[in-house]
Structure 1
Amino acid sequence: MNQYFATVARGLEPLVVQELEQLGAKDVEPGFCGAAFKGDRTLLYKVNLWARLPFRILRQLDEFDCEDESDLFAGIQRIDWSEYLRPDNTLAVTATGKTEALNHTHFTALQVKNAIVSQQTEQFGERSDVDTQAPDVRINLHLRHDRATLSLDSSGDSLHRRGYRPAVGAAPLKESLAAALIQMTDWQPNVAFFDPLCGSGTLPLEAGLRSLQIAPGLFRERFGFETWLDYDDDLWESMIAEAESQQKSELAAFVGGSDRDPNVLIQAHSNAQQCGMEHLITFQQKDLADVAAPTDSGILLCNPPYGERLGKDSDLGAFYKLLGNVLKQRFKGWTAYVLSGNKALSSNIGLKSASRTPVYNGSLLCQLMKYELY
């Protein structure tokens, strides 16, 4: 069994532990911005294909004491890189964290690369080229408390980039955060789901993917592990076929959204088409003041502007008051969740929240507020 680490947005560690265990991971342990777990190659492929919350799945190669440049060089050279990398393969190195002596990630990454290609040159008389965009092997080094953790990045591009969303609005939620928010509401596919401020459609689309049991990785062009020396194409193709066979053709309940901006709704429809869900997800152009509940009960989840990137010049206080009035008057029988990064604005909703859960949207600390609407 190999040691892996799934990286997630800060604060989502408990959720990713739950997701990894559901996917069959062993010895799952939460860490800072992620969770460690154990499993075989099949599990590695499965987590990349099916996990909705992580950014990257790292395969740990080694861990060693590392205070300075000489420790780093020796630790990297301790690995036999011919097991993972041929001179005709390209590579890239990503470094995170720091020590007192190694406090510049670009320099640290350069030293890792130098140690690897030095070994290759000595062993083969030639070395790998660097390709920062689409390398055959992406290497990750993390420094913390004078310890270095060396890993291979099995995901390639961040997993939040599903591949179905070429079109996005001005301040889009990452797909992985959208999936996490949906998980936090305890929404189930047999319950209606609605976003009255849907923008380019990320929340309804993530709900639709979950309802139809569509693996989020099916839309991606490639994963990092597909260019590894031990890549098993037969295993991967069989997992893709199995995932496609599990998809459902119909939603169990209403899933949809609305927005006042016709241009972002064009994007939402385009994204739904990329997912093969354009005939299933309902998107409507409506001002918030005209929104009504599509069914008698359900889960409403929305991410209104909070003045960071959108809405700075508009009267957001009045907008939040309108949101509260619409929830109170037209969504009786529903449970509403509102993500807000501005406490002063959220107080204008004028409803008593049943709970408030801290959530990071990027580096911004927000709150997911729950409202029981009777």
Structure 2
Amino acid sequence: MDNNFKMVAKTLFGMEELLARELRSLGASNVEIGTRNVSFEGDKGFMYKANLCCRTAIKILKPITSFNIFNEDDLYKKVYEIKWEDFMEVDGSLAVNATVFSDYFTHSQYIALKTKDAIVDRFRDKEGRRPDVDLDHPTLRINVHIDRNICTISLDSSGESLHKRGYKVANTIAPINEVLAAGLIMLSGWDGQCDFLDPMCGSGTFLTEAAMIACRIPPNLNRDEFGFETWPDFDVDLYELIENAALKKIREFHFKIYGFDNDSEAISKAKENVKSANLEEFIEITQKDFFESEKEKERPMYIVFNPPYDERISVNDIEEFYGNIGTTLKHKYPDSNAWMITSNMEALKCVGLRPSRKIKVFNGKLESRFVRYEMYAGSKKAKKN
């Protein structure tokens, strides 16, 4: 008997191909790439596995129905008809969020409110009382997606966004999203095959994600809970089976991950986060000015970093700062693959090196570029020969 059902994994712009590759490697079937999402099929155990193991997913949604609507009354009636008592108890709590791409429906919060009204009214009519709304820790999170006239109602199996891995106990200014950090490291092609450096490490997100990728540690192992854990059909034995199988795939890592930062407060926060993730044996964090550093070992190195853009973190002379990045990479870091993300396109021109790749991504709402500089030991010509 086939117990597979359709699911939708949401992701960030530019990460769709990576997520599709992750889902296929985990065993998903009928994988289809959309915009900021990937649809796929799997069973209940696979839903648990996707939440635990996908580095580039933000949410794993389980669609339960789709229908056409032409006004708010249609929405209310169709949502009211769903047997919500199959998905939660009246003593439970719910939260609804909506995304809307339609000329007819333009206000996502109003759509969420109308959906919530239909659900609680059904419970009140059938049982004489209604479930509560709890936006922080609901028993059931419901996702409403309207595309023109088609409304899809899904259960959110993840709960809080999957970028909240559970290891981050201390944040710096302008921290990078964990899903974005993991995705960028994966886009760079790094897979734990050499040393890794984040020379402006902030709260240590790149370092932590890099260590988990290198050791094949499930990214969401440190989370307190997933949304599906409060569902009536949650199978704790099955989840533990999935978790144990994922833990058996953890591998040894024979290189080193280094983090530098100028700021002593950032260093202490990065160390706290790395300790929280139980990754201290792989990561070495030092208070150091990247511009006064140099590569110490004669072996290849991957560098991935997120320098200030002069947006949330201001820099006195941003053009000189980016110029120093180029000079340091060129003269102090031979035999390195250096990748950095920035939204400051003008400052990027001041690096003074020609990027061999440029990938469009978004850091939050900031349109950014993820660029690669290949630093050869000796001349590029000699390297090719």
TM-score, scaled relative to structure 2: 0.94
Aligned to 1:263: 265
Aligned to 1:73: 76
2:193 to 190, 195, 198: 190
Aligned to 2:380: none
Q: CA RMSD in A?
A: 1.3
Does 321-330 or 16-25 show the bigger shift? 16-25
Equivalent residues in 2 for 1:156-305 (5 A)? 156-248=159-251, 250-295=252-297, 296-305=299-308
Does 154-163 or 185-194 show the bigger shift? 185-194
Q: How far off is 1:92 after superposition? A: 1.0
CA contact (8 A) 1:211 1:252 kept: no
Aligned to 1:350: 352
Q: Distance in 2 between matches of 1:219 and 1:291?
A: 33
Q: How far off is 1:123 after superposition? A: 2.2
CA contact (8 A) 1:42 1:235 kept: yes
Q: Distance in 1 between matches of 2:193 and 2:102?
A: 50
CA contact (8 A) 1:138 1:152 kept: yes
CA contact (8 A) 2:88 2:232 kept: yes
Q: Distance in 1 between matches of 2:172 and 2:253?
A: 25
Local SS of the residue matching 2:220: helix
**Count of residues paired in the alignment:** 372
Equivalent residues in 2 for 1:58-137 (5 A)? 58-137=61-140
TM-score, scaled relative to structure 1: 0.96
Aligned to 2:13: 10
CA contact (8 A) 1:9 1:362 kept: no
Q: Distance in 1 between matches of 2:85 and 2:253?
A: 48
Q: Distance in 2 between matches of 1:340 and 1:99?
A: 32
Q: Distance in 1 between matches of 2:245 and 2:32?
A: 28
Q: Distance in 2 between matches of 1:294 and 1:138?
A: 50
Q: Distance in 1 between matches of 2:304 and 2:197?
A: 6
Structure 1 residue ranges without an equivalent (≥5): none
Q: How far off is 1:156 after superposition? A: 0.6
Task: Identify if the C-alpha distance between structure 1 residues 294 and 146 changes in structure 2 by more than 3 Å, giving closer, same or farther.
Answer: farther
Task: Identify if the C-alpha distance between structure 1 residues 163 and 228 changes in structure 2 by more than 3 Å, giving closer, same or farther.
Answer: same
CA contact (8 A) 1:303 1:340 kept: yes
Q: How far off is 1:301 after superposition? A: 0.8
Q: Distance in 2 between matches of 1:302 and 1:244?
A: 28
- Partner amino acid, structure 2, of 1:78: E
Local SS of the residue matching 1:54: coil
CA contact (8 A) 1:28 1:35 kept: yes
Aligned to 2:43: 40
Q: How far off is 1:294 after superposition? A: 4.1
Q: Distance in 2 between matches of 1:288 and 1:332?
A: 14
